[in-house]
Structure formats: C-alpha cells, structure tokens
Amino acid sequence: MPKSTRVAAYFVLLLASLTLFTENSLVLGSPPEISRRPDPLRKFKRYNGDYDIRDMHYWASAAFTGIHGYAMAGIWLAFGLGCVSFMVLKHCSGHSSPTVYHGDSSYLILFLLVVLFTFFAIIKSFFSTYSDPNQKSLQRANKLKETISDVGRDSSQAIRRVNIAFIDMQVLLQPYDPGTCHQLSLTTHRLRRESITIQQFVYMTRQSSDQAVKILYMANLVVVTVNLVFLVAGLVLLLLHCQPGMILIIFCCWVLTTLIWFLTGVNFFFYTFVIDTCSALENFVQNPQNNSLSNILPCAQLKNNDKTLVQIGYTVHSFIKEVNSKILEVQGLVTMNEQKDISIQEVCNPFSGAPHYSYTPGNCGNKSISVGDLPSVLSKFTCYNSSRKCLDDGRFLAESSYIIVWAYSQSIQGLIRVFPDLLSLMRCSFVIEMFSDIVAHQCKPLKFSVKLLWSSALSLSIFMMILVLLWLEKVIQDRGRCFSRCSIFPRPAV
C-alpha cells in the first residue's frame, strides 16, 4: 500500500478507536444529561428539554448520540471515494507504480493476517446475526411491548366499566338530582380525557418501540448476512488468487462497512432511547407527580384526584349513614305495629369515616346488606294502592319515595361496584404497576442486550475496516504476480 494511503488508513483506525471512548459521553439518561444534548434541529444548540416521545427535538437529540457511527461511516466512505479517485486518475494519466518484489516472509505474514481477520469477521458476523445480541434484543423488546399491551387492554376495560356505570347513574338520577348528574358528567369527561391520554402514551410507546426494534432487527440481519456472504466469497477468491473478483469484493465490503458503521450509530441511538425510557419510568415510579413524564401522563394530578376520591367516599358514606338512620326509624315503626317477624338489616357502608373516607369493603358485617338490595327490603313497606289499606297492612312508604330510593340505591351500588376500577384509574395504578414491573424485571436485561448489539456492531465495523485494508494491501502485493491455486507464495519469474 502506498505511504499516503497507509497514513490515511492509520488515521481512520485512530478515529475508530476514539469511538470506543467517546460514545458514552452523550448518553446517560438522567434529565440533566438529556437536556445538554445537541439538537440538530436547533442548529446544534442544547436540547434543554426532558424525555418526551412526542417531541421531534427529543428524537433529534437522541439520534445525535450516534454521531460517532454516522461520522465514521461518512469518513470511511469519503476515504474509499478518495482511493477510487486516486486510482482512476493514476490509470488515466498512464502512470503505474513500479513493481516491488517482496520476500516470502512478507507474503506469509500478510496472508496469515488476512485469513485471521477474515475468520474473525466471519465469526463476528455470524455471532451478530444469529446469536444473542440481535435475537435477545428482539425478544426482550417484544416482551416489553406485550407488557405495555396488557396494561393498555386492562385500563381500556376498566375505563369502559366506569363510563358505563357513570352513564347509568346519570340516567337514574337525572329526574331527581340534576346537580349530581352534572358533577358526574364532569367527572366522566375528565376521567375519559385522562384515560385517553394514558392510552395514547401506551400506544405511542408500544408503536415506537415495536417499529424501531423491527426495523433495527431487519437492518442488522440483512446487512450482516450479506456481509457474511461476501466474507466467505472473499476468502475463496483469496485462495484462488482471483484479483478481479477480489477487487469487486473489496468494493462491496467497503460499502457494507460503511453501512455497518451507520448501523453502529443507529444501534447506539436505540441504546440511548432504551436508557432514557428506563430512566424516565424509574423516576415516574419514585415520584409520579414530579418527573419528565408529567407532561405526557395525567398522573401529575394525583392530589386533585385524591380530593375527588375523598369527595366520592364522603358522598357514599353520608348517604348510607343516612339510610341506616332511616332504617332504625322504620324498624321502630315496625316494632310499634307489632310486626316482629319482619326485621330490616343494616346497609353495608364500605367507606370509612372522616377524614379520609377510604374504601374498606372488608369492614362490612355478615348480617349487613348491600345498598343495591335495599329496594327489595323496602318493597315490603311500599304502598302501591290506597293509603287507608296500606296503613292497615303496615305499608307506610309512598311509591314515589320508593322510586327515588331505588334510583339512588342503584346508582350508589353501581358506583361501589366500579370504585376499585375508578380508584386504579385516578391513582394511575395500572400505569405505576406496569412501570414498576418494567423497571424491576425488564429494563436491565433489555439495556444489556441492546448494548451488546451496539458493541457487536462496533467491533464488526472495526474488524471489517482492518480486513478491507488488509485485502487492499494483499491485492496490491499480488499485482503482477503468478500464483498456483491455493498457494501462498508467487511462482518465480521466468
């Protein structure tokens, strides 16, 4: 290889070695590190933002972390174009380099180096394509997607149950309590809006991770598989001393090395995204009300939601307490009328008293009844005919009053039935549990797999770069020589 070409090759190898030590400087998924990243969309000024998958500036700054791979791809391609231009100009000018005679030792050393790095590159290509890094990255990313999908499905079902219950309550109470219906309508709309926001986040996270992993997996698989084919072909042509074929292989592998360098940058970009995502999820689990996801998820409003839950608990608790007091009065009337065979059980109150009004369904006694069963009990004392006959039969509750009690009791029972779902939605329990599971069980292996994928692509890029330069040196060394098939040393000139 000419001296100038060797100097350029050493320079390219130096840049490649620097990549090993400078890639991590832009990653680190903490919010301060994310905000300090350069943003190509803002003329490489600081991003000055948080993790936000809706923001193109975040994606641009995250993609920029793979700049070392992109830059090496550009430098390697420019170096190749420079070599081709130099050879074309040299050929067109009619100048040819003088034939240099090498000793047998130089042929042997270069041949062994070429074979050694070819085998290294073949093994690395096979490992990168069909072994742990690429396969496990896909498997673990799919597991993450399934976890997010399960939570999205569970939250959708809970939202549907709550909305149906609230709509039924509005229909029942509209003739008797328009004010409560209005509050129910406002709560329903707010819950639906916040739930849609959660659904959108789940969908965006699932879609972005799914598409990114599939594209990345296929790109790595195709490029590295094609590279593996050319490596095997190059080894065969090397043993056959087919110079035209070797030149074609060098050209193709030069282009493939450029693509692998670019994929190295893309893999590191994906590694950055995984670190950012896991860091954001971990911060969310630790502090749902103050984190980088506050602008994406409505869980930052947990204090307001808690006030709403306390208000609901107070309303139900007060209603059932009032009902139980009325039951005591009715029980007294029954006793006065000497209807001792009829007893009215107390209504179960699943909410504790002040100040928290917590939902505690386990506190109900065995002899208590649910508020939804109250109409069936009161029907025994409801007057459906003339007042005089009803009084004689001990039916002192007017039918209109019974209908009102029935509407309220059914509404309260519907609210109690969906309150666990409402509690989970308003406290973001679905999301927090999902994020906790991902942080505890999936983030660490996923980060390891993606980092291994990136490091495999990086090492393959370096191996390919060295190998292509060795092949180029071998072609130059063998130029004008005659070899027997599969021989290492040229035949002596006659």
Question: Does the pLDDT value for residue 271 go beyond 60?
Answer: yes
The per-residue pLDDT for range 442-472, each reduced to its tens digit, is: 888 888 888 888 888 888 888 888 889 888 8
Least confident among 45-54, 178-187, 193-202: 193-202
* Pairing verdict, β 382-383 and 397-398: parallel
User: Given this model, what pLDDT does residue 10 score?
Assistant: 53
Residue 451 structure tokens? 């980092």
CA 320/CA 322 separation, integer angstroms: 5
Which position has the higher pLDDT, 43 or 95?
Answer: 43
Question: Does the pLDDT value for residue 139 go beyond 90?
Answer: no
Percent share of the chain, pLDDT over 90: 8
Where residue 163 falls among pLDDT bands split at 50, 70, 90? confident
Sign of CA dihedral 459, 460, 462, 466: positive
Report the predicted TM-score, pTM, of the whole model to 2 decimal places: 0.75
Where residue 5 falls among pLDDT bands split at 50, 70, 90? very low
User: Given this model, what pLDDT does residue 70 score?
Assistant: 93
Q: What kind and span of H or E run contains 162? A: helix 132-173
DSSP string for 273-312: HHHHHHHHHHHHHH-TTSSTTTTTSGGGGHHHHHHHHHHH
Averaged pLDDT for residues 192-220:
74
Which position has the higher pLDDT, 27 or 264?
Answer: 264
Which position has the higher pLDDT, 437 or 482?
Answer: 437
Question: Does the pLDDT value for residue 29 go beyond 60?
Answer: no
Q: What kind and span of H or E run contains 23? A: none
Which position has the higher pLDDT, 389 or 72?
Answer: 72
User: Given this model, what pLDDT does residue 176 score?
Assistant: 82
Averaged pLDDT for residues 105-134:
76
CA 229/CA 231 separation, integer angstroms: 5
Question: Does the pLDDT value for residue 197 go beyond 80?
Answer: no
Q: What is the DSSP letter of 398?
A: E
CA 427/CA 301 separation, integer angstroms: 9
In order of 54, 84, 118, 319, the CA distances from 59 in angstroms are 9, 36, 37, 52
Where residue 129 falls among pLDDT bands split at 50, 70, 90? low
Averaged pLDDT for residues 45-59:
85
Least confident among 152-161, 176-185, 193-202, 371-380: 193-202
| CA torsion angle 359 362 364 366 (round to 10) | 160
Where residue 160 falls among pLDDT bands split at 50, 70, 90? confident
Percent share of the chain, pLDDT over 70: 76
Question: Does the pLDDT value for residue 43 go beyond 80?
Answer: yes
Question: Does the pLDDT value for residue 480 go beyond 70?
Answer: no
Question: Does the pLDDT value for residue 426 go beyond 50?
Answer: yes
Sign of CA dihedral 486, 487, 490, 491: negative
Query: If you average pLDDT over every residue of the chain, what do you get?
Result: 77
| Residues paired with 446 in a beta bridge | none
CA triple 389-390-396, angle to 5 deg: 155
User: Given this model, what pLDDT does residue 4 score?
Assistant: 44
